[in-house]
Amino acid sequence: MITIVTGTDTGVGKTVATAALAAHFGPRAVVVKPAQTGIGTDEPDSSVVQHLAGCEVDEYTRLEDPLAPDTAARLRGIEIPPINEHAARVRELAETRDTVIVEGAGGLMVRLDTDGGTLSDLATDLARDHPVRVYVVTRVGLGTLNHTALTVEALRSRGVEPAGLVLGAVPDALGLAEECALAELPRVTAVPIVAALPEGAGGLDPEHFRERVDSWLAGCLAGQ
């Protein structure tokens, strides 16, 4: 199975959600980061996933600046391989692994290569000959309804039906906006909320993170 993790924006919790999925699926899962930016300033997403989930992580392109991949590459005069090459490498991994999890960069329509290819293009390419499950990680605060609906609509316009919404960082105390979002997100998007990660989950030590993963993901992964 190929699983793709995208989000409504940067900083919504995609990396922690990816780590949670990888921890649930176990040691035969591998996480792919097609383009990792911010190598010179931030802890790479791949390192966070590897720390929390203890799984293998494969990066295809590493870029120094904390920008969108296409922008970071052009700034440095670097060419990123096109989406079809990413897809070929993911397919190769899928031949020997039970689960391949692909984490995007930023939102769905952020360009992952210097030819204009996006994560939605990668999902469409892979879905031609593999079962592909796409999860959309989103916020629960004000503004999430619009951002989430736009992301879901973009996926559907490319023939990809999202498997579910993942709440990336749910605070302990919910305000009015958060309470309404929990009810409104499934209604507005016609996509179920299938997992909720508590705020601060990425700061847990790996042992406790892995112990709690199944309770966070039980809604979307029961029996898988």
Alpha-carbon span 61 to 104, nearest angstrom: 12
> Per the annotation, does 7 bind a ligand?
no
CA distances from residue 59 to 28, 89, 138 in whole angstroms, order as listed? 17, 11, 24
What is the 3 state secondary structure string of 156-198?
Answer: HHCCCCCCEEEEEEECCCCCHHHHHHHHHHHHHHCCCEEEEEE
Strand partners, 30: 56, 100
β partners of residue 137:
7, 166
Report the amino acid identity of residue 147: H
Consult the annotation and say whether 117 binds a ligand.
no
104 is in an annotated binding site: yes
Q: Which residue has the tokens 């990792």?
A: 36
User: Which position among 24, 33, 86, 133 bears the catalytic label?
Assistant: 33
Does 12 carry a binding-site annotation? yes
Per the annotation, does 105 bind a ligand?
yes
37 is in an annotated binding site: yes
- 134 known member of a binding site: no
Alpha carbon of 215 to those of 59, 89, 100, 107, 135: distances in Å?
29, 32, 21, 26, 17
User: Was 14 annotated as part of a binding site?
Assistant: yes
Say if residue 3 carries a ligand binding annotation. no
The response to whether 45 counts as a known ligand-binding position is yes
- Our answer to whether residue 90 is catalytic in this structure is no
Q: 136 forms bridges with which residues in the sheet?
A: 6, 165
Instruction: State yes or no: 16 annotated in a binding site.
Output: yes
Question: What residues are annotated to the active site?
Answer: 33
The binding site consists of 11-16, 37, 45, 103-106, 199
The binding site for substrate consists of 37
The binding site for ATP consists of 11-16, 45, 103-106, 199
The binding site for Mg(2+) consists of 15, 45, 103
